Structure 1
Amino acid sequence: MLVLGAGPVGQTAALLLARWGLPVVMLDRRPARDLTGSKAICQQRDVLDVWAAVGCEAIAAEGLTWTTSRTYYRDRELFSARFGDPGRSPLPPFVNLSQARTEEILDERIAATPLIDTRWGHEVVHLTQDEYGVAVKCADGTVVRGSHAIACTGARGGAVREALGLGFDGESYDDRFLICDIRAELPGWESERRFYFDPEWNPGRQVLMHPCPGSVFRIDWQVPPDFDLEAEEASGMLDRRIRHIVGDQPYELVWRSVYRFHSRLADRMSVGRVLLAGDCAHLVAPFGARGLNSGVPDAENAAWKIAFVRHGWAPEALLATYHDERRAAALENLWVTGATMRFLVPRTPAERRRRQAILERAAVDPEGVTAVDSGRFAEPFRYTASPLTTRDGEFTGRAAAPGVILPDVPVSVPGRPEVSRLRHLTRDGVLVLLAGGCDRAAVTSALADAVSAPVQVTDIGESGALSDALGTRPHEVWVIRPDAHIAAILTNPTSADLTRAVLRALGHPTS
C-alpha cells in the first residue's frame, strides 16, 4: 500500500491501513518533519476517536477544550455560549492542539509500527496504474509500487491530480489572513474562544483568537490582499496588533504566517486504485474547523474499504463508493464554509449591507444573534444517501438512523476489559447489535466473514442505559460499519433481509 504525503491525513491513513494488517510505504516530498506552527488546531470528537483507535489517545489527553465562545461587534460583546455538557462519550467534544504536536504524536506511533515505512525526500511527480497496482515516480527517479494509493499530498498535490486527469475547480479569496501564535499569561482567557467583527483595531475585518495548551494563544487577523508581513514586523505594527488584544502583558511570539483561503474540489475523489484525501481532494476555508476534520474521515473511509478489498471481504466495487460518500461530504463542507465566507468577507454591496444589518440588529436584539455566522463547527457527515446504506423512512426524526455515526457511550464487555467505549467494538469489522428480543443464532447464520460476532445490547450496557443512549427498540438489528456509521437498522429481519443489508454495506450488488 502507498500513502502519498506524511501530513496528519497521510499519517492517519498509514496507521489505519497498518491496523488492518497491510504494509504501507508513506512518501513525502519534504526532507524531514517541520514541527513548527499551530496550523490546524481544532479537532472534533469523532476525529479524536479515530486517532484513539490507532493508539494516539494522547492527542485528546493533551489538547485543550475551551468552554466559552464570545463574539464581539466593534466595541461590544454580542453574545456568548458555554459548552459545559460533554455528553455521554468519554472523549471531549473537541480539543485545541497545534498541528505540530498532533503530527509528533502520530509520528511516535508510526515509529512503533513495523508495517509502516516512511520515506522522506520522495516528491511524487507522476503515477500510473493498471489492473495489478499503482506505480509512483519520484523526482529523483525512484519508482515505488503498491496495490493501491491514498493521495494525501495536500493543496500542492497538482502532480497527482494531473496524472489522474483531474481538475481542481473553485475559487481563492483575495484577502489574506495573518496568524500569530503567542505565549502569554492571560488569566480567564485560557478557556475562551473570541471572535471580533470589525474591531476598531482591525476596522472592516475580523479577528479570531483560540487558546491552546501551554499558555499559547492562536490569533488570526483578516488583512488586506497587499499585506506585507516583513514590513509589518520592521515597522513595529505587528507588536501593536498584538498589544491591542493582550494589552501590556508580556508575550512571546512563537510563530507567525500569512495565508489565503481557497474553496476547491477535485473532479473525482477516486480514480481506479488511487483515492484522494484531505487537501489534495478539497480545500475549504478554516472557519468551523472543516479541513483536517474532514481529511481524517477521508482517510478512515479509504483505509477500511481498501483493507476489505485486499483481504477479500468485499468486491472491488466497494472502492467506488469512496467517491460517492466523501465527495458528498466535501460538497456539504464547501456549501457551509462558502456561506460563512460570504458573511465574513462580503464581495458585493448587497452582501455587505446584509452583514451590516445582521450585526447591527444583533447588537440590540438577542434574537438577531442566530443570523451571525462566524463558522458552523465540523460534524460527521451523514451517509443517508450512500449506496452502502439500507434506507428506511421510518427513522425520520430519530437521532440514530441509517447513515448516521453511532453514538459513543461507555460499555462493559464480559471477558474484554480493554473495551470501555461502544466505538471500540466497531473497529474490527462490521458490527451487528441486537436489541431485546432478537434471536442471536438466526442472526449469526446470515453474517459474512467480515462481520464480528453479534453483540446483544443488554449484555454490554448497564440497566438499560445503552438502549436509552442509542434509542434502540425491541427486535431491532443494527448493522454498523467499521467507521462507526450505521449501515442499517432492521426490525424483525429475516435472514435474507439481514444478508442483503450486510452485503450492501460491503459494496456487493443486491436486488
Structure 2
Amino acid sequence: MDPVIVTGAGPVGLTLALALARQEVPCVVLDEGPGKDEPRPARTVVLREDAVALVERLTGTPLAGLGSRWAGWRSMRRKQVTRVVEFDDADPAPLHIAQHELTAVLRGALDHEPLVKVAVDSRLDAVEQEKSGVTAHTRGATGTWWRGSYLVGCDGPRSTVRKLQDIRFPGRTAVERYAVAALRTELPWSDEALLHRMPPWRTAGPSAGEVVGRPLPDGVWRLDWLLPPGKDLVTPELLVNRVRETLTGWTDGSTPAYELLDTGVHTVHHRLARRWRVGRVLLAGDAAHLLGALGTQGLEEGLLDADNLAWKLALAWHHGPREALLDSYQEERRAAISARLRAADQLLPLLRGGGGLRSYVPGAARGNDALLADGHLGRGTLGEPGTYAASPLAPANLTGEVSVGTPAGAPVADVRVTAEDGTFVRLGSRLGRGALLVVLVAPGTGVWDRKHWVTAGVMPRLAAAVTALPHHAELLVAESYPGAAAHTVLLVRPDGHLVTALGGVRPADLYAAAESALGGAASGAAAAEEGAGAAAGSR
C-alpha cells in the first residue's frame, strides 16, 4: 500500500510521521525548507507533561536537558505578589523549550527511521485524490509527483493543503499582540517563571499591559510584553527600552548586564477550520486551528492532533478504510479546540477590560491573575487539556460500567503496571503502538511472581475475553488505579484516553466497548454477543 504523505516538517508533521512509523506505516514528509531550522531563541513552546511524554516516547530522547522545568510560578500585580505555585513530583512543571531544539530532536529520530522519507526543498502545489489514494505534486529542485494512501496537511497557518481543498478558515485576526525578546541575564527569580500585570514602572491605561518572563537553560530568558490594541510599529528602540525598564524594575536598581539574543513580534489569531477531513486529505496543527491568547499554547494542541490521528490512520492503512473512525478525528479534536477558543473569547473582555464594575469587586484582580496563570500553566478553564467525553467512539449502554478517578474520554493516569512478560513498566510506555490496552486492577499482585497469579482468580477469563476482542489488545495488571476498586477493568485507547471502566470481567461489555472505540466496524449487539461467545468458548 502507498505511504502516507505528510506536508510540513514542523513539530506536528514530524511527530505524526514518527507516530505512524512506530505503527509500521511508511510516510513521506514533504519539507519545503532545507531540512533544518534556523535557531530562534525567542521562538519557544511550553509543553505539559502528556505532550512531553509523547515526544520522548517517539524519539527516545529526554527533553529535560534541552529545556527548562521551572521550580515555581509567581503572579504579580503592580508591586504585590498575588499567586505562587511551587512544582514537585506530584505536580510537575511544564517544560519550556526552544522550538528549534524540539524540531531537531524529532528530525534526529527520523534520521534513523527507515519507514520515513523526508523530501527537502519540496513545496506542494497540487493535490488530486480518488477512491484508492492521493497524488501530490511538488515544485522545487526535486519537484515531482508523489503517490500516497492519505495526505495530512501539517503545513501551518497559510496551509496550501487547506486552500487546495477549499476549506474555510474563519475566526478572529490579531486577538492579541506581543513584543518578544530572548536574552541572557541574571534575575532575582533564577528558575521561576513570572507573570507581572500592570508593573509599577509603566503608566496606567491600555499600554500598562503585562510582561511574562520564562527561563530557559543557560541563563536565557524569554520575555513577552502585551502590546496595546492596534498596529503600531514595534521598533528596535521600543524593544530595547522595554527590556531595560523591565530588567531595572525587577532588580530595583540599575539595569543588570544582559545579552540580547533574538527579538520578534508575536501576533495571536483565533481560527478554526470548518472541516479537518476531505476524503483522504486531512489537516492537523496550525493548518486546522490557531489559538494562543491569554497564555494558551497552540503547538501543544497540534501534537495532540498528531497523537489522536496516528492510531486511526494506522488502523485504516493496515486494515482498510474505517470511515467512522477517521471522521472521529475531526469530531474529537475540533470539539476540544473549539472549547478552548470559546473559553478564551468569553474571558478576554474580563481579563483585558481594565475597568468597569469588575474592577471594584473585592478579589476580582486576584481571580483574573489566577485565570491567566492557568492559561500559561495548562490548567483550569483556559489551559486544561480537552477530553473526548462526547466522542462518537464512546460506548453506550454498558451494564457493567463504573466510575474511576479518570472520566471516560480523558487521558489515563500513568500508573505502574505489570506487562505480559512479567516486567514492571509505566502504563504510558505502552501507548502509541496501535494496540488497545486492557488494565486489570488487582491489589497485591506486585509482590508475587507473575506465574503465581496469571492463572488464578479472574485472569484466565479476562485473558480469554481480551483474545476475542476485534483488534489486538495488550493485557496489563495494575496494583492500584485512582478511584478504582479491586477487579476493575479499564479499556484504554492507543492514544491513552479511557474508553470505559468495568466492574469486573464482563466479556460482552468489553467487546462492545472495543468495537465502539474502533468506530463500530462490526457494530452492535450482534458483535458483542459474538465476542462474548468466543470468549466463553475459549475459557
Same fold (TM over 0.5): yes
Deviation for aligned residue 1:334: 0.7
Does the 8 Å contact 1:262/1:284 carry over to 2? yes
Alignment correspondent of 2:153: 151
CA separation of 1:287/1:60 partners in 2, compared to 1, >3 Å: closer, same or farther? farther
Alignment correspondent of 1:161: 162
Deviation for aligned residue 1:200: 3.4
Alignment correspondent of 1:134: 134
SS in 2 for 1:80: strand
Matched, 1:506 2:508: no
Deviation for aligned residue 1:252: 0.8
Counterparts of residues 114-133 of structure 1 (less than 5 Å): 114-133=114-133
Provide the aligned C-alpha RMSD in A: 2.8
> Aligned partners of 1:150, 1:500: CA distance in 2, in Å?
30
- TM-score w.r.t. the length of structure 1 is 0.87
SS in 2 for 1:62: coil
Does the 8 Å contact 2:441/2:486 carry over to 1? yes
Q: Structure 1 residues 176-185 or 113-122, which shifts more? A: 113-122
Does the 8 Å contact 1:67/1:192 carry over to 2? yes
Deviation for aligned residue 1:185: 2.3
Does the 8 Å contact 1:66/1:190 carry over to 2? no
Alignment correspondent of 1:254: 261
Q: Structure 1 residues 244-253 or 231-240, which shifts more? A: 231-240
Alignment correspondent of 1:11: 14
Counterparts of residues 163-242 of structure 1 (less than 5 Å): 163-173=164-174, 175-187=176-188, 189-203=189-203, 204-224=208-228, 225-232=230-237, 239-242=244-247
CA separation of 1:343/1:118 partners in 2, compared to 1, >3 Å: closer, same or farther? farther
Does the 8 Å contact 1:279/1:295 carry over to 2? yes
CA separation of 1:441/1:126 partners in 2, compared to 1, >3 Å: closer, same or farther? same
> Aligned partners of 2:196, 2:291: CA distance in 1, in Å?
21
Deviation for aligned residue 1:299: 0.4
Q: Structure 1 residues 126-135 or 368-377, which shifts more? A: 368-377
> Aligned partners of 2:83, 2:100: CA distance in 1, in Å?
32
Which of 430, 438, 450 aligns to 2:436? It is 430
1:422 counterpart letter in structure 2: L
SS in 2 for 1:97: strand
Counterparts of residues 222-301 of structure 1 (less than 5 Å): 222-224=226-228, 225-232=230-237, 239-245=244-250, 247-301=254-308
> Aligned partners of 1:501, 1:234: CA distance in 2, in Å?
56
2:349 counterpart letter in structure 1: R
> Aligned partners of 1:134, 1:219: CA distance in 2, in Å?
44
Counterparts of residues 23-172 of structure 1 (less than 5 Å): 23-32=26-35, 33-86=37-90, 92-140=92-140, 142-157=144-159, 159-172=160-173
> Aligned partners of 2:241, 2:64: CA distance in 1, in Å?
37
1:65 counterpart letter in structure 2: R
CA separation of 1:106/1:235 partners in 2, compared to 1, >3 Å: closer, same or farther? closer
CA separation of 1:173/1:420 partners in 2, compared to 1, >3 Å: closer, same or farther? same
> Aligned partners of 1:255, 1:487: CA distance in 2, in Å?
45
- TM-score w.r.t. the length of structure 2 is 0.83
May I ask how many residue pairs the two structures share in their alignment?
A: 486
> Aligned partners of 1:241, 1:369: CA distance in 2, in Å?
22
SS in 2 for 1:503: helix
Gaps of 5+ in 1: 458-463
Does the 8 Å contact 1:447/1:502 carry over to 2? yes
Deviation for aligned residue 1:229: 3.3
> Aligned partners of 1:205, 1:24: CA distance in 2, in Å?
45
Deviation for aligned residue 1:371: 6.5
**What are the superposed Cα offsets for residues 65-95 of structure 1, whole Å, 9 maximum, x if unpaired?**
21322112223222222223435xxxx4421
CA separation of 1:410/1:142 partners in 2, compared to 1, >3 Å: closer, same or farther? same
> Aligned partners of 2:372, 2:240: CA distance in 1, in Å?
34
Deviation for aligned residue 1:494: 4.0
Alignment correspondent of 1:461: none
Matched, 1:408 2:410: no
Alignment correspondent of 2:465: 443
Alignment correspondent of 2:340: 333
> Aligned partners of 1:174, 1:314: CA distance in 2, in Å?
39
Does the 8 Å contact 1:195/1:374 carry over to 2? yes
Percent identity of equivalent pairs: 31
Alignment correspondent of 2:391: 386
2:154 counterpart letter in structure 1: C
Deviation for aligned residue 1:372: 4.9
Q: Structure 1 residues 77-86 or 481-490, which shifts more? A: 77-86
> Aligned partners of 1:125, 1:202: CA distance in 2, in Å?
48
**What are the superposed Cα offsets for residues 116-161 of structure 1, whole Å, 9 maximum, x if unpaired?**
211222222332211121222224453222111221111121x221
Gaps of 5+ in 2: 443-456, 525-539
**What are the superposed Cα offsets for residues 412-433 of structure 1, whole Å, 9 maximum, x if unpaired?**
547465x631111233310111
Which of 463, 484, 488 aligns to 1:476? It is 488
Deviation for aligned residue 1:396: 8.6
Deviation for aligned residue 1:399: 2.1
Deviation for aligned residue 1:384: 1.0
Deviation for aligned residue 1:103: 1.1
1:256 counterpart letter in structure 2: T
Q: Structure 1 residues 163-172 or 126-135, which shifts more? A: 126-135
> Aligned partners of 2:59, 2:372: CA distance in 1, in Å?
36
SS in 2 for 1:499: helix
> Aligned partners of 2:258, 2:240: CA distance in 1, in Å?
18
1:78 counterpart letter in structure 2: T
1:213 counterpart letter in structure 2: P
> Aligned partners of 1:321, 1:214: CA distance in 2, in Å?
43
Alignment correspondent of 2:536: none
SS in 1 for 2:416: coil
Q: Structure 1 residues 212-221 or 61-70, which shifts more? A: 61-70
CA separation of 1:355/1:134 partners in 2, compared to 1, >3 Å: closer, same or farther? farther
Q: Structure 1 residues 137-146 or 2-11, which shifts more? A: 137-146
> Aligned partners of 1:277, 1:393: CA distance in 2, in Å?
36
